[in-house]
Amino acid sequence: MSVGADTVVNSGPEPRSGPAGDAARVEEAARKVVQDHDPRSVSQREFLGACFDAGLSWVHFPVGLGGLGVSRGLQANADAILQDAGGPMPFALNPIGYGMAAPTLREHAQTPDRAAEWLRPLATTEDIWCQLFSEPGAGSDLAGLATSAVRDGDEWVVNGQKVWTSLAHRANWALLLARTDPDVPKHKGLTYFVLDMHAPGVETRPLRQMTGQAEFNEVYMNDARIPDAHRLGAVGAGWRVAMTTLMNERTAIGGGSSRRGTGTIADAVALWADRPDLHTPILRDRLARLWTKAEAQRLTGERSRATATAKGPGPEGSVGKLVGAELNQQIYEFCMDLLGAEGTVYGDYALRDITRNEDYRGPIQQRFLRSRANTIEGGTSEVLRNILGERILGLPGDMRADSDRPWREVPRG
């Protein structure tokens, strides 16, 4: 049984009618959480657990699964109250969990109880999640993946390799897409699972980045076993489940900040204010243009959130991710141009693991290097332009010669 957006798991207070009533209910719940669990005096886990129990982790989720069953646009109302009181930004603490795993679990877990079992420790960040999608031979062509899952009674035996897996070295659980039928076309032979990252046969190897950090990883699965109860969606319906993950991923990454002047543009503005000795008219003009672009993206995100409903995101979520990724790179390129030769000095190389210290973002040089991944992760800009062209503008799709051939007959390098 799937857990849909309209499912009510536990009974809650009688909702007030209309958008205004929903907003008041969300804000009242947020103020009560702050009053009863002051984030400045209780542990982070206790505070986030209280948010989940009050339905404020994802307000558009069903009651009992961390939500209130209202418009997803009201999440900003809750977040403003919680974070103004000193509460953390949960997405920054568990990005794959909050942005991608949670909506996938809510929609496709086999039972509501199973979804709740995963969602609460995810919300408190007790359980960190990762996403096992990309492979050495299947990056942008995700449906071409080769990792296999073979049924053995009430379990599945998994063999294969995944790559570029963010936070796999810290994760307790993983979203896994694997091939269960090689004799049908590539999109039809996939099944979706939740994998215990500490299970026998699962090995994680860090990949050192040019930033000096090891945020990404390779993950090897050698006869790793997954209970069938940890399957999401039907056997062979993995591509449909994966679309839930990917659409939410792009929306989460491209959502941007809800407050004026915040986000990555704040880094450029702060650097400009700190270094008046480096100002030139040309750089001033570039900064003004970047700030305008960032504000346009923020307002577009606000409009999208204001009109959002409990329904999951569609292909339009690719717009924010595409624009935001390229804008981030432009902002940090500006910062390097402002610093000039000083921008080549990177004295903190490989000294700390930023994925274990959420308060540390690294020097501006590190952020510049990290931004190069923005147009690759979560869907390359080229793939996103294809999605926007085909699904929003209605342009003809690319030629796909292998769409009707059994996967095992498709040549692979």
> For residue 67, is it within any domain?
yes
pLDDT at 5: 38
Nearest by Cα to 388 from 306, 322, 292: 322
Predicted confidence band of residue 151 (pLDDT cuts 50, 70, 90): very high
Q: Which residues pair with 218 in a beta bridge?
A: 205
The model's pTM: 0.84
Q: DSSP secondary-structure letter at 175?
A: E
Q: Which residues pair with 67 in a beta bridge?
A: 63
Predicted confidence band of residue 211 (pLDDT cuts 50, 70, 90): confident
Predicted confidence band of residue 357 (pLDDT cuts 50, 70, 90): very low
Of 135, 218, 249, 326, the catalytic one is 249
- Annotated active-site residue 377? The verdict is no
> For residue 149, is it within any domain?
yes
Do 268 and 385 lie in one domain? The reply is yes
pLDDT at 1: 37
Do 323 and 382 lie in one domain? The reply is yes
What is the token pair recorded at 45? 């886990």
Write the CATH number for 330: 1.20.140.10
pLDDT at 305: 64
> For residue 22, is it within any domain?
yes
Q: Which domain holds residue 320?
A: 255-392
- Token look-up 């997405």 returns 91
Do 161 and 193 lie in one domain? The reply is yes
Do 192 and 260 lie in one domain? The reply is no
> What share of the chain has pLDDT > 90, as a percent?
63
Do 314 and 213 lie in one domain? The reply is no
Do 163 and 215 lie in one domain? The reply is yes
Q: DSSP secondary-structure letter at 361?
A: -
pLDDT over 50 (residue 90): yes
Do 261 and 339 lie in one domain? The reply is yes
Nearest by Cα to 317 from 252, 386, 237: 252
Asked if 144 and 190 count as a contact pair (C-beta separation under 8 A), the reply is no
Tell me the C-alpha distance between 109 and 10, whole Å: 17
Query: Reduced to 3 states, what is the DSSP secondary structure of residue 389?
Result: helix
Written as one string, the DSSP assignment of 186-231 is: TTTSEEEEEEETTSTTEEEEEE--TTS---EEEEEEEEEEEEGGGE
How many independent structural domains does the chain possess? 3
Cβ-Cβ contacts under 8 Å for 241 (sequence gap 6 or more): 104, 107, 108, 177, 192, 232, 233
pLDDT at 336: 96
Write the CATH number for 231: 2.40.110.10
Tell me the per-residue pLDDT of 239-296, one tens digit each, with 9 for 90 and over.
999 999 988 877 776 665 567 888 899 999 999 999 999 999 999 999 999 999 999 9
- Mean confidence (pLDDT) of the chain: 87
Tell me the C-alpha distance between 224 and 161, whole Å: 12
